[in-house]
Amino acid sequence: MINKNVIVIGAGLAGCEAAWQIANLGVSVELIEMRPANSTPAHHSSEFGELVCSNSFGALSPDRAAGLLQEELRTFNSLIIKTADKFSVPAGGALAVDRSKFSKTLTRILSSHPLIEIKRIEQLDLPHKDKITILATGPLTSDKLARKIRQFTGIDSCHFFDAASPIIYGDTIDHKIIFKASRYEKGDPAYLNCPMNENEYTNFRKELIYAEQATLKDFEKESANFFEACLPIEEIARRGIDTMRFGPLKSIGLWNPEWGDLFDKENRLKKRPHAIVQLRKEDLEGKLLNMVGFQTNLKWSEQKRIFRMIPGLEKAEFVRFGVMHRNTFLESPKLLLPTLQFLKRGTLLAAGQITGTEGYAAAAAGGLIAGINAAFLAKNEKPVTFPEESMIGSLMNFISNKNQIMAHHKKKQFQPMPASFGLVPELRKKIKDKKLRYKAYHERSKEVLKGFKESLSCYSKKDQLLIKTY
């Protein structure tokens, strides 16, 4: 067994995945997490891999970008995706999880791994360059460490404002009004839907626009730079009368013209409403429900008042109100290689949302690559770059110095990016049909990763530690 160890700073999704990959490649790990001694504006527990925003990892189908990324992670025994699969809850065509069981299980597995040492302390500085280190502190990196990172990189961190949706008690909603259905009837009817007529929608939007906002605490003097994929619901409402109706409140796919009036005897919609608010289970029993797409920065009293205007939520009781916080990320294209090593220091790697990837599966992907490469460095082996034809590889190219040679990115401010088929290389033979094209991306990724995995000697045998621990 090699005595060299790797330091992983941060036990979020990327840090957990990195520590898992390193340990299962036979290298010891120090996993450093500052919670519970020092928490953040968004965290509510001291568990590893806490999901502070949605409980969804995105679409499951491999012909969707998020689904392909999940499938690729399963190929490399991702702890994050395996745990998500184990504690999944109904969510139509998406992978959503029971967030409490998910994070508690991650904490238990990593804490019991024989090669992982947990340290519950705040990391105040970057370790010495002789120490192989993965920076996986996420978008809520502590102020002290963030200052040290800025000093090391010589570049001010980028940031945007992110928000989390409210969660309500499932037994406080009105099931006489709210109905079960999944959009386009994909999968089981996993969503609870609150229908709104035009008058209800108009009044609701008006209240959202003029509602009192919560103070952004330490960020009051800074202009709010929202991440477009996670806008507060009130910001969406301000952008136009129908913006919400073509976003999180869209009713398309939840109506059949043959149904007739409003509800049939099975409580299904017969007439398409003007807008629909969807609720998604946070746990298998449906005791807790997430308001889908309702990230918000409204004052808690305003959230209670306005969200109870939604049909079926008149008596809703809130487990957690929506909150807003600042997310920090690196200007990674100027700092990182596709291996996730820093250009200035090969023994320092970064992973997760701090690198500018967006989404839970993308964070796990960064942790996976950084973990594999950190273990290789500890074994004096050459770090690897994932094939660009894979979703993992294309994401890493986007956030790395490969981005710098792409002219259209030079003129734009670097912004976080989720998994997207727009990042992968074009097919040799063009396919016009979108579904067929996405299927071809999937098949190409599957084939190229099969060869890539076989080329890595560390994956040539079954991993006994992984089988024993999971």
Please tell me the predicted confidence (pLDDT) of residue 404: 58
Residues 48 and 66 in one domain: yes
Residue 30 has pLDDT above 90, yes or no: yes
Which residue has tokens 């980028």? 158
Residues 319 and 172 in one domain: yes
What digits encode the pLDDT tens for the residues 143-155? 888 888 888 988 7
Kindly tell me the sign of the dihedral angle through the C-alpha atoms of 405, 408, 411, 413. negative
Residues 286 and 406 in one domain: no
Q: What are the start-end ranges of the E strands in 144-274? A: 158-164, 167-169, 179-181, 191-196
pLDDT band at 458 (very low <50, low <70, confident <90, very high): low
Residues 422 and 344 in one domain: yes
Residues 293 and 338 in one domain: no
Say which CATH number the domain at 423 has.
Answer: 3.50.50.60
What's the mean pLDDT in 130-150? 88
C-alpha distances in Å from residue 11, one per residue of 35, 67, 215, 267: 9, 24, 28, 44
Please tell me the predicted confidence (pLDDT) of residue 331: 86
pLDDT band at 469 (very low <50, low <70, confident <90, very high): very low
The strand pair at 132-135 and 88-89 is best described as: unpaired
What digits encode the pLDDT tens for the residues 387-430? 999 999 999 998 898 765 543 444 455 667 788 888 888 898 88
Number of structural domains, the chain? Answer: 2
Residues 317 and 343 in one domain: no
Residues 339 and 358 in one domain: yes
Cβ contact 103:47 at 8 Å: yes
pLDDT band at 115 (very low <50, low <70, confident <90, very high): very high
Strand, coil or helix: what is 354?
Answer: helix
Instruction: Annotate 408-469 with three-state secondary structure.
Output: HHHCCCCCCECCCCCCCCCCCCCCCCHHHHHHHHHHHHHHHHHHHHHHCHHHCCCCHHHHHH
Residues 345 and 322 in one domain: no
pLDDT band at 446 (very low <50, low <70, confident <90, very high): very high
The pLDDT mean for the chain works out to 84
Residues 32 and 147 in one domain: yes
Residues 175 and 321 in one domain: yes
Residues 200 and 338 in one domain: no
417: CB partners within 8 A, 6+ apart: 356, 357, 358, 395, 398, 399, 423
Range(s) of the domain holding residue 269:
164-326
Residues 223 and 123 in one domain: no
What digits encode the pLDDT tens for the residues 175-228? 988 988 877 766 667 789 999 999 999 999 999 999 988 765 443 344 445 555
- How would you classify residue 340: left for phi > 0, otherwise alpha for psi between -120 and 50, otherwise beta? left
56: CB partners within 8 A, 6+ apart: 91, 94, 95, 96, 97, 280, 360
Question: For residues 412-430, b (16+ Cβ closer than 10 Å) or e, as one string?
Answer: eebebbbbebebbeeeeee
